[in-house]
A = this chain, B = another copy of it.
Amino acid sequence: MVLQRTTVICVISAVVGVALGLFIGYFSRPAPTAPIYPTENPTISKLLMDEMKADNIMNNLNTLTSRPHIAGREQEEIVLVDWIKQQWTEAGIDSIVVHPYEVLLSYPKQNDSNYVSIKLANGTEIEQSQRKELVIDEEQNDPNVVDPFNAYSPPGEPEGELVYVNYATIEDFIALNRTHNISTVDKICISRYGSIFRGDKAIHAELYGCIGLILYSDPLDYTVPWSEVYPKDWFLPPTGAQRGSLLVDDGDPRTPNYPSISSAWHKSDSSLTLPKIPITPIGYIDAIKYLSKIGGPEVPTAWKGGMNITYRFGPGFAGDHVNSSMKMSVKTTNQVATIRNVIGYIRGGVEPDRYVLLGNHRDAWVFGAIDPSSGTATLMEIVRGFGAMLKRGWRPRRTLVFCSWGAEEYGLIGSTEWVEELQKELRARAVAYLNVDIAVEGNYSLAVDGVASLSQAVFDAAKSVPNPNPSEVSSGRPTLYDTWKFRFPASVGDKPSYHGLSSGSDYTAFLQIIGISSVDLRYTYDESIGLASYPVYHSVYETFELVENLVDPGFKIHLAMTQVWAELARKLADVLILPVDCRLYASDLAQKRDVLYQQYGSKMETHGIEFSQLNDSILIFTTSANSIHERIASIDSTNAYETRMINDQLMQLERAFIDQNPLPGRVSYRHVISAPNQHDTYGSTAFPAVVDAMFDIDNDPDQAGRWDEVRRQYSILVFHILSAAATLNPTVPTT
């Protein structure tokens, strides 16, 4: 008994002792003194996608398009701004900042809007064009519907002979002058919309001496023979006219390079880079009246539109109207107004000083159901979705920034002023800018443009999103990616087509001023049917009903766009090592070099330019790109400084292609690898400064000077590729 009792006591003592020891021992060991940082939670991907709903997007679109919301007016700058702030506040994101800018906008004259007409020799005006588009939906009667006009046209009433200039490309004017010997000096030109940015049409017309420019939508470019027009199908009705800005240099034209904040200096009105000739758009219901009466030789086939007339150059009218002239009445004027960007933040839990930005513009020419409110409707649902994840306790590694831009339609004004204002922070902190302007302009396929280094990240995001089209799914293409690859295959490799960015939406300032890796996503129509854009683009017919009934009934495509955009952002914001692939940039450079060589190589070599320098620089870049990815493969992922160092190199790759000086003749574009085409802001030019210098070089009387400029730009290109390669190398060289 005694022994037993002793044993029991001893055992108890020992057990208590062990327990005590365990307790003391456990807590006497120093706890980790460096924080363990949370890592990516991949389950969020599906939770987030499941959270977002088509019905919400539909309701967002309905709200956004309930009234016209042109930039600078109350509905856009007060009502929708307040609504977005309220929605984002409810979503529970960390902070919301509104950035106002006082900028120069442009409007037609209320109750005395623009028209064109034929003026008879006796002074009578006949065949006046429609001042308004035909009312089809009741909501069009809203007094805030702004009649068709081209922003930044000066007012004026020019009269003169009419000349048809096709798409008003630089090549069209060169052909008119050199091949057809038709002068446009002191003429009123009429150009069809399409092929290039309308602002470049205006520049070309001015350059070639025109005194006015009429822009019209030809049925060939905005309808198809086998279908009806809106409201029966989505093709452009006869009175539909394309509004649009003529501004070529982005941002407030009064404050180039600097933000339009309250202390800003403004250029004087007379020194602004704006069109000097009156310009206004018309529908094809009117264009046929003038083009059917035009004289002169018949145009070549490529110049012919889709109206049942003989297309002729002019100048002037023929037949009964040989003594009549074309007249324009343009009352468009510039006005200073306040525009607003709404910027929302979800703070990164680990790296709050690294930004992944999602941007979409808010302003529309009229209702904007496609452009841009389809995008805004998805952005709103993304913010709500991320907010819901926050409420579950999730927080991204990096900061998510949601941007609702003002006054994009006028010339990317809101985004440009903001990038100009925050350029120092963005240069240091921005990982990527993901733009959706129009989310859904058709139901054919996803289409994405972007920097080469993000293509795989975009592909991966698209692979994770279910296909919104059941017939595609049953054809064995279960994801967005599958249909994209099937319908828009890349010319090389088993992947979808993915091209460089030009301009035309809000990624421009991010990529061209700062060098931020950018992508632009949309769901588009079948380009093979030959449309210049989706047909009702910038007309009064971009209504909620159009989208609900014709473009995306059920809003499933909108939902898919929401999911792919959100997933790409989530990945960029959350994954430890940024999904930026420098090797893809290397291949892209090699492809661009091949295209340059094919187009200009022998001519350049004849003038003493050594292509080996470009080849060598791309080889060096390729070696550096491969080496950084080898280092990534063996990285110590627990070392915060090592991962941050690599991520900084990946993030800054695009910065390395930004020249300290703007490209020749450009106000703010500085990207030496890819920039908007000098004669078409909608087009993308590889190696832009070199290609610009080569343009039409044979006809330059100063051959020595021009070739010296080609050599100069070529050396700047080679330098930048070498320089970018160096940024990818280990930060301390090994001897």
Contacts and interface: CB of A to CB of B under 8 A. Distances in A.
Interface of A: 2, 5-6, 9-11, 13-37, 94-97, 257-259, 261, 263-265, 268, 345, 347-348, 350-353, 399, 421-425, 427-429, 513, 613, 617, 636, 638-641, 644-645, 648-649, 652, 655-656, 660-661, 708, 711-712, 714-716, 718-719, 722-724, 726-727, 730-735
A638 B722 contact: no
B424 A652 contact: yes
The 5 A-B pairs with the shortest beta carbon distances in the complex, nearest first, are A21-B21, A17-B17, A25-B25, A32-B32, A640-B640
Given A34-B35, A37-B34, A345-B732, A723 B424 contact: yes
Given A22-B22, A32-B33, A37-B641, 5 more contacts: A35-B636, A95-B735, A345-B733, A352-B730, A425-B727
Given A25-B21, A26-B25, A716-B258, A424 B655 contact: yes
B422 A726 contact: yes
Contacts of A639: 35
A424 B6 contact: no
Contacts of A425: 726-727, 731
B10 A6 contact: yes
Given A265-B711, A352-B645, A17 B13 contact: yes
B353 A259 contact: no
B732 A641 contact: no
A258 B13 CA distance: 80
A656 B427 CA distance: 10
Contact of A617 (B26, B257, B263, B648): B263
Interface centre among A23, A33, A422, A424 (most CB of B within 10 A): A424
A482 B50 CA distance: 69
B428 A652 contact: yes
A712 B268 CA distance: 11
Contacts of A648: 353, 428
Contacts of A613: 263
Contacts of A95: 732-735
Contacts of A27: 25, 29
B422 A257 contact: no
Contacts of A265: 711-712, 714-716
A146 to B, nearest CB: 32
B422 A353 contact: no
Contacts of A17: 13-21
B21 A638 contact: no
Interface centre among A32, A259, A347, A734 (most CB of B within 10 A): A32
Contacts of A263: 613, 617, 715, 718-719, 722
Copies in the complex: 2
A186 to B, nearest CB: 32
Given A17-B21, A26-B26, A719-B261, A732 B423 contact: no
A722 B262 CA distance: 11
Given A265-B712, A399-B732, A735-B96, A641 B20 contact: no
Contacts of A97: 733, 735
Contacts of A30: 32
B423 A660 contact: yes
A264 B732 contact: no
A426 to B, nearest CB: 10
A648 B351 CA distance: 12
B424 A724 contact: yes
A23 B26 contact: no
A26 B11 CA distance: 22
Nearest to A514: B660
A482 to B, nearest CB: 37
Contacts of A261: 719, 722
Contacts of A715: 258, 263-265
A263 B715 CA distance: 6
A347 B9 CA distance: 60
Interface centre among A428, A660, A716 (most CB of B within 10 A): A660
Contacts of A33: 32, 36, 638
Contact of A353 (B18, B36, B645, B711): B645
Contact of A352 (B36, B513, B722, B732): B732
Contacts of A348: 732
Contacts of A264: 715, 719
B660 A257 contact: yes
A639 B35 CA distance: 6
A645 B27 CA distance: 32
A661 to B, nearest CB: 6
Contacts of A727: 424-425, 428
A641 B351 contact: yes
B732 A347 contact: yes
A390 to B, nearest CB: 13
Contact of A29 (B26, B34, B645, B708): B26
Contacts of A719: 258-259, 261, 263-264, 421
B731 A35 contact: no
A731 B352 contact: yes
A353 B731 contact: yes
A402 to B, nearest CB: 12
A465 to B, nearest CB: 28
25 contacts: A11-B13, A13-B14, A16-B17, A17-B18, A19-B21, A21-B25, A26-B29, A27-B29, A30-B32, A33-B638, A94-B735, A259-B719, A263-B718, A263-B722, A264-B715, A345-B732, A347-B732, A348-B732, A353-B731, A422-B726, A424-B656, A425-B726, A425-B731, A428-B652, A428-B655
A264 B610 CA distance: 12
Contacts of A718: 263
Contacts of A2: 2, 6
A719 B424 CA distance: 11
Contacts of A24: 18, 21-22, 25
